[in-house]
Amino acid sequence: MSFQNPVFIPGPTNMPEALRRACDMPTLDHRSPLFGQILQPALAGVKKVLKTETAEVFLFPSTGTGGWETAITNCLSPGDKILAARNGMFSHRWIDMCQRHGLKVEVVEAAWGTGLPADRYEEILAADTNHEIKAVLATHNETATGVKSDIAAVRRALNAAKHPALLFVDGVSSIASMDFRMEEWGVDAAVTGSQKGFMLPPGLAIIALSPKAQAAVESARLPRTFFDVRDMMKAYANNAYPYTPAVGLMNGLKQSCDMLLAEGLDNVFARHHRIAEGVRAAVRAWGLELCAQTPDVYSDSVSAIRTPEGFNATGIVTHAAAKYGVAFGVGLGEVAGKVFRIGHLGSLTDVMMLSGLATAEMVMADLGLDIQLGSGVAAAQEVYRSDSAIASKEAA
Amino acid sequence: MSFQNPVFIPGPTNMPEALRRACDMPTLDHRSPLFGQILQPALAGVKKVLKTETAEVFLFPSTGTGGWETAITNCLSPGDKILAARNGMFSHRWIDMCQRHGLKVEVVEAAWGTGLPADRYEEILAADTNHEIKAVLATHNETATGVKSDIAAVRRALNAAKHPALLFVDGVSSIASMDFRMEEWGVDAAVTGSQKGFMLPPGLAIIALSPKAQAAVESARLPRTFFDVRDMMKAYANNAYPYTPAVGLMNGLKQSCDMLLAEGLDNVFARHHRIAEGVRAAVRAWGLELCAQTPDVYSDSVSAIRTPEGFNATGIVTHAAAKYGVAFGVGLGEVAGKVFRIGHLGSLTDVMMLSGLATAEMVMADLGLDIQLGSGVAAAQEVYRSDSAIASKEAA
Amino acid sequence: MSFQNPVFIPGPTNMPEALRRACDMPTLDHRSPLFGQILQPALAGVKKVLKTETAEVFLFPSTGTGGWETAITNCLSPGDKILAARNGMFSHRWIDMCQRHGLKVEVVEAAWGTGLPADRYEEILAADTNHEIKAVLATHNETATGVKSDIAAVRRALNAAKHPALLFVDGVSSIASMDFRMEEWGVDAAVTGSQKGFMLPPGLAIIALSPKAQAAVESARLPRTFFDVRDMMKAYANNAYPYTPAVGLMNGLKQSCDMLLAEGLDNVFARHHRIAEGVRAAVRAWGLELCAQTPDVYSDSVSAIRTPEGFNATGIVTHAAAKYGVAFGVGLGEVAGKVFRIGHLGSLTDVMMLSGLATAEMVMADLGLDIQLGSGVAAAQEVYRSDSAIASKEAA
Amino acid sequence: MSFQNPVFIPGPTNMPEALRRACDMPTLDHRSPLFGQILQPALAGVKKVLKTETAEVFLFPSTGTGGWETAITNCLSPGDKILAARNGMFSHRWIDMCQRHGLKVEVVEAAWGTGLPADRYEEILAADTNHEIKAVLATHNETATGVKSDIAAVRRALNAAKHPALLFVDGVSSIASMDFRMEEWGVDAAVTGSQKGFMLPPGLAIIALSPKAQAAVESARLPRTFFDVRDMMKAYANNAYPYTPAVGLMNGLKQSCDMLLAEGLDNVFARHHRIAEGVRAAVRAWGLELCAQTPDVYSDSVSAIRTPEGFNATGIVTHAAAKYGVAFGVGLGEVAGKVFRIGHLGSLTDVMMLSGLATAEMVMADLGLDIQLGSGVAAAQEVYRSDSAIASKEAA
């Protein structure tokens, strides 16, 4: 595997050199006033990216999985009931985590390749007249299938059912790459990590809790210490931290937010959309299909591409790494061997994406798929050529 | 605060440039074979540093606090009884964590400045004929007081009482700086972090479980997912990870172990001892006293220095940072305002230490303490001059 | 201009991260023994890359231009006669330098796009029965036209004429990318820089002098001090340097040689050839022509591509930078506006090259040239797919 | 030699991490508009540091030695007469260079340890009624002896003699560390390098020519191409460069100027003076003497310290490196073995300096000199404590 080529996995993403440097800090005394000068702008920057003014942001030396655990252990109690849909590997894992923490999960099964069924949520919530359901889980972007769900619709379902359950959203592979409106959508807990849209190394769980979620913290009885947001809240007020913070990553997060906001969130989202459109045009040119079943659920951060019946899609990933030094993503869970994934989020340009598409073509041709070399590239080039206004404003 | 000067806090430590670079990796696909080439040597290296062949090592994107939580949530069940001594801020915090996880802690209070009372442990364990106590907690090095405890003695206490409790040891500020013999001492869970003796940035919890502790994992009923070692064990067997690993830090850990083992653990410990001896000689020359009450508990990684009655020791830290750009550690908890701390672990040379001592002298003189300039430096110089054989083998 | 995309200029090249780090050294006392541990392996490594055992290598904080000046000022005297061909911008500049130093240059004009006329050299040398010509200049690879010349043929011309003139070769854009046989070809002075095949930042002139050239140094009367190889030779013998060396670049050069030799020079040259073949296949697919007139002079490090009559080729470079953030090279001198150049030397993979070709296609289409999108990419993909054995051994 | 400790050589200096990063740039196309955004601010910044508005600045991939050569080859012709004083190794070397370039040098010998004899200059210039002397050389700071000369006095000598000779000043170890007033002092050529006061790696010669010197360029007949300022001037006007520029170092220079100007030149000079005063206080406390004979010539960037008769001062440097991993400077030329040098310029804090003094004490004691440990440190501490207002504003 060559470090010269970009990666095309759905995170960790390619990192801008400026952010790597921001993370690679000399040792800083986190009990000195300098720490607050990193912490506070990082928290403020994340709030802007999440489009919330009322939520509190928490940063843990952890990952998105730790972020999920933070949301549930801080807001829920043993035996609480949860509503969640399973439409891919990551929604599956979150459900599993809830069960391991002693929560009762009402699971709505949805086809892998479809979005969250907000209508089913509404039915179940409306039927839950005793309000036994304490939280609704929603995966904004299913990284395993390349499927984006409609969080606003989930909120409407809750509202229609007049249900007080908390809305927890996994935005790990959407936040900072696709539009996320924490306040407008009434999200109570938003979870992400450092290594996706924020273009940083892994190692930071990023969690935001709405005032309603914060209010639930005191009565929540699931045990936690490392992930206890109360300790964080108390410490943040003094520009401090309950234990040793991952200062470098926090400094990187501060700069990442600065970089994203300088580019403009709308431009960031448009860039991701444009690059994704190029990938989707290539997939069509290849005569293949996305795992995502309908255009309304196409993800702008990752595409899972179905390969023909009988072909082992995992071979594409292995061969691309071994022969061309390029990393793509394998299919997971139910779609293992049936799809391969192209990550197109984070620090990426049209030009870099074209090298990924060109590689995918060579790999598929090498493995005997009926792919015309250059066909997908040409389709993507058409997309990238036509959107010049934005192309020139690529992230540094 | 200037980044030009070394820090003299008890972690995070000064970092060798080679380790910063090892951590600052380009994006690597952690599902590719390259990951195993980082993971396995890192695990093997930690085992050598811990002097264990039978324990399993686990690396979490977390900190020492997460390491404590890993130990207790993976080996214990709600309501289990724990034995622990409180002789400083960090032993206090671990006790607090146990209580927040619903464990019953029998707390042995010990004076701050003394080591763990192994004799009291033995009495209590001997009296626990029903073996209700499931685990014994021991803080190897109390970072708050600069006190090292005798873990071998705790093991002897357990053995003398023929008690089957697990022995959990917090080695956060000792491991890789002072001798730690996991196997010989019969330690069941050893916990540390990346940012102390391993000279890396914070962000990695390092935990080792003995076969006996591993056997306890299946029956342990405290909920955990992020910190579940079962998922780690399963994944490690496939050179994989249950979620996104902090690859850079793991690569740093691999190189840190290589560096420590190349220097030779005995040389590493001797270097820490020599530098610490210089600091202690300086303290004596200043006419001050250590918080640590007797030489047998002097820590080789951090010294807590008592200032005269009525003097606010915290002012030393504030003034050193503001006027000289140098970071020392404040007193915590019971000794807040009464001590200041000089960290002398990790990547440090005699020469760097002398600049810390010279700074402390200026600061104390500035604040009106009766300190003769150059006196502590001279005392330390005598120590450092006389130990030439080792001095020339400083860590890179 | 985005730093995310590779550059496709004929130097400075893309740099492997390992080499950037080797150059970015902390301050080292160049009067300490450490300096020799960098200097000597760097000199030895360059000799291996040049395929010479008898030449002496000199490293100046300078560039290829300084290397030219080193060769002429150390071996020649005012009024000396020189034979040189002009077949591009860089051979022109070297001639100009000779003239500015008071040398008389017999210039053989050759069409831009052709190689050095060894037969003309032979005629002139044979006619120079008084051996007034003291040195013959030969540009191994004309960076301006993408033309490689046959240095062995120039040597044969000298031999055929039984002429004792020194043979000076500009290998700036060939050495370490294309085969260079200093000893076999009887080269007396070989000149290059750090920023091409050695994949380093600019700032180092690399010069090798044969024993015959060294013998000429004492009698040479052109004034020089900074570029005086006698001071270098004397200093090198003591692991020293006549003034402050560019230690970081020299450390980078040492590592670059290690990296090239570890890959294997034949593999390095084959990789450059394969990538170049892909570019040339793309050019043919686009229906365009190279500036280099015949396959025997095709350069494996840079291609100059003629655009249709009446089209301003420089616009391609400007547009690529402005819209797509990609750097190509403009035409220089006689071919300014008539060609654009694609550099394909140094740290480059097939995958990176494909992104350059894809970009060139978009740019040419944007500017109205009749280029079918994906056509050049497809042609290059065929080349890159078929050479799998080597593809997987890309430079790190 | 450990990279953990600071260096105390008179250049290359310790480098701020921010400047190392500025130099360690990804590859940039120097023919793109980005280059001008680095070049022009670098040139403008140097002019501010030199306190000139009318001079032109030139940046060569070279060193101070190349800067000397630039000054003489661009302004003088073979056979021209030069006036120069020799009071140390570096003034000696510049004289030697002039002679090797065919210039006639009238050498004024001055004791090593004294400054330039402006009165002797005036006598000689007054006697040169035919104005045969074309240039006067003056070394502002003799790095070999730690002696600063009075350039304003040299200008007064020229003026008093009404002599039109050009005034060339070697400011290699003074510029950006000590006050330098190009315009006020009527300096015609100022020469320095990147690795001293600018705190950068070596590799850049920095030259400024007054309008009068620029006017001399056209008629100067010494041959030069690499160092020809005419090519530079022409290129700079187009944001271009006559060959491949050392872009990273130029970017570093831009940031270095920003950093120096942000600190404030007066603060930079005061910081150097304060640190030097501490060193001098230590030397007195040790009972030793400076090579510099009188306080008016004490250099604020380097101190050469005489050791007792019969003691080999070079042993101090060797022993410090071998046993303590610290670099000091040896004596050169006439004072070889008689002095050792402590460099105290560039990126340095009081705290770092104290570790250098403490090391020097241990070394001298180790080698049998009658030095009281801590004595020099204490003397320096007194200096550093008393100057708190500036201490807290140290360069990052």
The CA-based dihedral angle spanning residues C15, C16, C22, C27, taken in that order and rounded to the nearest 10 degrees: 50
pLDDT band at D3 (very low <50, low <70, confident <90, very high): confident
* Contact pairs from chain A to chain B, CB under 8 Å: 164
CB contact under 8 A, A395 and C323: no
Does the pLDDT at position A70 exceed 50?
yes
Task: Write out pLDDT tens, residues C296-312.
Answer: 999 999 999 999 999 99
- Geometric angle at alpha carbon A384, from A379 and A389, rounded to 5°: 155
Once rounded to an integer, what is the mean pLDDT over residues A164-184? 98
Nearest Cα to A360, choosing from A391, A329, A394?
A: A329
On whether the CB atoms of residues D89 and D65 are closer than 8 A, the answer is no
Once rounded to an integer, what is the mean pLDDT over residues B160-176? 98
Once rounded to an integer, what is the mean pLDDT over residues B189-216? 98
Residue whose tokens read 């000369």: D149
On whether A156 is known to bind a ligand per the annotation, the reply is no
pLDDT of residue A323: 96
The CA-based dihedral angle spanning residues C46, C50, C55, C57, taken in that order and rounded to the nearest 10 degrees: -30
Pair of tokens at residue A115: 């979005």
Run of H or E including C238: none
pLDDT of residue D2: 59
Contacts of B21 in chain C (CB under 8 A): 21
pLDDT band at C3 (very low <50, low <70, confident <90, very high): confident
Nearest Cα to A203, choosing from A332, A56, A67?
A: A67
Task: Write out pLDDT tens, residues D341-376.
Answer: 999 999 999 999 999 999 999 999 999 999 999 999
Nearest CA in chain A to B94: A225
Amino acid at the residue A100: R
Instruction: Check residues C87 and A391 and name the one with the higher pLDDT.
Output: C87
pLDDT band at B3 (very low <50, low <70, confident <90, very high): confident
- CA end-to-end span of chain C: 25
Distance from CA of D210 to the nearest CA of C (A): 23
All chains having 3 or more CB pairs closer than 8 angstroms to chain A = B, C, D
pLDDT band at A390 (very low <50, low <70, confident <90, very high): very low
On whether the CB atoms of residues A329 and B31 are closer than 8 A, the answer is yes
On whether the CB atoms of residues D85 and D227 are closer than 8 A, the answer is no
Does the pLDDT at position C388 exceed 90?
no
pLDDT of residue A114: 98
Q: Does B74 lie at the interface with A, CB-CB under 8 angstroms? A: no
Task: Write out pLDDT tens, residues A309-327.
Answer: 999 999 999 999 999 999 9
Range(s) of chain B covered by CATH 3.90.1150.10: 264-391
Contacts of D324 in chain B (CB under 8 A): 349-351, 391-392
Q: Does D26 lie at the interface with A, CB-CB under 8 angstroms? A: yes
CA distance linking residue B388 with residue B373, whole number of Å = 25
Which residues, 6 or more positions from B362, have their beta carbon under 8 angstroms from its beta carbon? B324, B373, D381, D384, D385
CB contact under 8 A, D4 and B391: no
Pair of tokens at residue D321: 């490196």
DSSP character string of D363-380? HHHHTT----TTHHHHHH
Q: Does B20 lie at the interface with C, CB-CB under 8 angstroms? A: no
pLDDT of residue C2: 59
In the predicted model, what is the mean pLDDT of chain C? 96
On whether the CB atoms of residues A19 and A258 are closer than 8 A, the answer is no
**Cross-strand pairs, A85:** A108
Does the pLDDT at position C256 exceed 50?
yes
Q: Does C308 lie at the interface with A, CB-CB under 8 angstroms? A: no
DSSP character string of D259-294? HHHHH-HHHHHHHHHHHHHHHHHHHHHTT-EESS-S
DSSP C87: S
CB contact under 8 A, C243 and D63: yes
Strand ranges inside chain C, DSSP E:
56-61, 81-86, 104-109, 133-139, 141-142, 147-148, 166-170, 189-193, 204-209, 289-290, 302-306, 329-330, 339-343
**What's the topology of domain A264-391?**
Aspartate Aminotransferase, domain 1 (3.90.1150)
CA A161 from chain center: how many Å?
A: 28
On whether the CB atoms of residues C188 and C167 are closer than 8 A, the answer is yes
Pair of tokens at residue B89: 């801020």
CB contact under 8 A, B15 and A7: no
CA distance linking residue C316 with residue C112, whole number of Å = 21
Pair of tokens at residue C184: 């076999």
Q: Is the dihedral of CA B54, B58, B63, B65 positive or negative?
A: negative
In this prediction the ipTM stands at 0.96
Long-range contacts, B185-189 (Cβ 8 Å, 24+): B185/B151, B185/B152, B185/B154, B185/B155, B186/B155, B186/B158, B186/B159, B186/B210, B187/B52, B187/B151, B187/B155, B188/B75, B188/B135, B188/B212, B188/B213, B189/B71, B189/B75, B189/B213
Report residue B49: phi and psi, to 5°: -65, -35
Nearest Cα to A166, choosing from A120, A214, A207?
A: A214
Pair of tokens at residue A261: 């906001």
Helix axes A265-285, A247-263, angle to 10 degrees: 80
Of D347, D362, D378, the CB nearest to B385: D362
Half-sphere exposure of C188 (CA within 13 A, CB side): 26
pLDDT of residue B390: 45
pLDDT of residue B91: 97
DSSP character string of D34-64? HHHHHHHHHHHHHHHHHT-SS-EEEEEES-H
Range(s) of chain B covered by CATH 3.40.640.10: 17-262
> Collapsing DSSP states into helix, strand and coil, what is residue D235?
helix
Contacts of A34 in chain B (CB under 8 A): 1
Pair of tokens at residue D72: 């003489």
Amino acid at the residue A199: M
DSSP character string of B303-332? EEEEPPTT--THHHHHHHHHHH----EE--
Q: Does C32 lie at the interface with D, CB-CB under 8 angstroms? A: yes
In the predicted model, what is the mean pLDDT of chain D? 96
Amino acid at the residue C254: K
Does the pLDDT at position D198 exceed 50?
yes
**Cross-strand pairs, A236:** none
In the predicted model, what is the mean pLDDT of chain A? 96
Once rounded to an integer, what is the mean pLDDT over residues C63-70? 98
pLDDT of residue D78: 96
In the predicted model, what is the mean pLDDT of chain B? 96
On whether the CB atoms of residues C348 and C14 are closer than 8 A, the answer is yes
Task: Write out pLDDT tens, residues C264-276.
Answer: 999 999 999 999 9
CB contact under 8 A, C21 and B26: no
Question: Among 3.50.50.60, 3.40.640.10, 3.40.50.300, 3.30.43.10, what is the CATH number of C17-262?
Answer: 3.40.640.10
Once rounded to an integer, what is the mean pLDDT over residues D234-260? 98
**Could you count the other beta carbons within 10 Å of the beta carbon of residue D145?**
34
Nearest Cα to A116, choosing from A92, A146, A140, A144?
A: A140
Total length of chain A: 396
pLDDT of residue B394: 42
> Collapsing DSSP states into helix, strand and coil, what is residue C270?
helix
Which residues, 6 or more positions from C154, have their beta carbon under 8 angstroms from its beta carbon? C116, C118, C121, C136, C138, C167, C185
Distance from CA of A228 to the nearest CA of B (A): 10
CA C185 from chain center: how many Å?
A: 17
| CB within 8 Å of chain D, chain C residues 201-260 | 201-203, 222-228, 242-249
**Could you count the other beta carbons within 10 Å of the beta carbon of residue C51?**
17
CB contact under 8 A, C244 and D66: no
**Could you count the other beta carbons within 10 Å of the beta carbon of residue D256?**
29
Does the pLDDT at position C214 exceed 60?
yes
pLDDT band at C391 (very low <50, low <70, confident <90, very high): very low
Task: Write out pLDDT tens, residues D304-322.
Answer: 999 999 999 999 999 999 9
Which CA distances in Å does B389 have to B267, B278, C72, D17? Answer: 10, 16, 52, 32
DSSP character string of C184-235? TTT-SEEEEETTSTT---S-EEEEEE-HHHHHHHTT--S--STT-HHHHHHH
On whether the CB atoms of residues D77 and D222 are closer than 8 A, the answer is yes
Of C23, C69, C249, the CB nearest to D225: C69
